């Protein structure tokens, strides 16, 4: 899959590129950011998944991550959060449609034609980026924020061996038991709630997923304005039941936004670097 580099910026000795390519999964052009640190590679890398309403730009502009990535020798691949463009279905609210792909493969019309974000991330995005840039396919981690935290957890749990490290900020941890997830899943999968369970990180963890990870790192702010929608406690209980090592850090005074992410992104990159480099 060929790509078009639409912009390139020098940052902390490395290179940040904004790219677009055609995705067979979504049947649309898809955008992503690609940061490579100084050097020739091949580089270990992290896929970063962003949250509701975000694009590939939010992380690049707001997370303050590139200094730490450059120092650790980590590349970062961050896709858009959904297909977009003329003819792609959308809704006026932000919980469903463009900007709200939830990193799942929709099965219900009108979403099923384009909203194949699970296949996009785990197949098209990885194949395209690894063919075009000096990335090490054997040293690949995944992380995300909010909806992207949900995506990081569920994609890692559902695709054993694809990722070597896993972390999240304020993930939607049990979407089948949250109005955020319930609204989107009803649109994407229909009314049969048994079909939703395959996309719930807490349920997947409780059933034994995630055994390949020596540790999973999650940060959440105790002043998060969406605390009741995240169901962090259910994730913690599922990890305990399954015997998985979940390091869950509740951060006093921090809310849901990127100031929170900036405050602890260095810890997450150190966590991934210890497992990938």
Q: Could you give the dihedral angle defined by the CA atoms of residues 3, 98, 264 and 176, in that order, rounded to the nearest 10 degrees?
A: -130
Q: Which residue is catalytic, options 21, 145, 150, 256?
A: 256
Q: Which segments of the chain are extended strands (E)?
A: 3-11, 14-23, 28-36, 43-49, 75-79, 135-145, 165-169, 216-221, 246-251
- 23, 54, 146, 167: which one is catalytic? 146
Helix (H) / strand (E) containing 151: helix 147-158
Least Cα distance to 203 among 231, 183, 168 occurs for 231
Residues 87, 148, 137, 107, CA torsion sign: negative
| Residue 145 known to be catalytic | no
Q: Residues 124, 224, 268, 272: which is the catalytic one? A: 224
Q: Output phi, psi for 8, to 5 deg.
A: -140, 135
| For residue 155, cis peptide bond before it (omega within 30 degrees of 0) | no
> Is 256 assigned a catalytic role?
yes
In sequence order, what are the residues at sequence separation of 6 or more whose Cβ sits closer than 8 angstroms to the Cβ of residue 71? 12
> Distance between CA 258 and CA 270 in Å, rounded?
18
Query: At 60, is the secondary structure helix, strand, or coil?
Result: helix
List the catalytic residues. Answer: 146, 224, 256
């Amino acid at each position: 899959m060929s790509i078009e580099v639409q912009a390139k910026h020098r940052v902390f000795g490395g290179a940040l590129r904004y790219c677009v390519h055609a995705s067979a999964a979504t049947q649309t052009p898809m955008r992503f950011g690609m940061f490579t640190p100084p050097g020739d590679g091949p580089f270990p890398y992290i896929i970063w998944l962003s949250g509701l309403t975000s694009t590939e730009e939010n992380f690049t502009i707001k997370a303050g991550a590139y200094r730490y990535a450059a120092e650790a020798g980590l590349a970062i691949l961050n896709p858009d959060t959904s297909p977009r463009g003329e003819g792609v279905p959308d809704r006026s609210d932000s919980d469903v449609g463009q900007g709200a792909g939830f990193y799942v493969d929709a099965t219900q019309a009108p979403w099923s034609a384009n909203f194949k974000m699970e296949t996009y991330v785990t197949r098209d995005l990885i194949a395209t980026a690894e063919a075009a840039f000096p990335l090490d396919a054997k040293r690949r981690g995944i992380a995300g924020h909010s909806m992207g935290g949900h995506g990081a957890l569920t994609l890692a749990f559902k695709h054993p061996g694809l990722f070597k490290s896993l972390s999240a900020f304020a993930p939607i941890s049990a979407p089948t038991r949250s109005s955020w997830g319930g609204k989107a899943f009803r649109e994407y999968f229909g009314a049969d709630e048994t079909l939703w369970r395959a996309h719930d990180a807490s349920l997947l963890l409780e059933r034994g997923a995630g055994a390949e990870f020596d540790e999973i790192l999650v940060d959440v702010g105790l002043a998060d304005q969406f605390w009741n929608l995240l169901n962090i406690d259910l994730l913690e209980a599922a990890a305990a039941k399954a015997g998985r090592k979940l390091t869950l850090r509740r951060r006093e005074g921090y809310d849901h936004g990127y100031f929170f992410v900036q405050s602890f992104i260095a810890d997450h990159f150190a966590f991934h670097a210890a497992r990938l480099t």
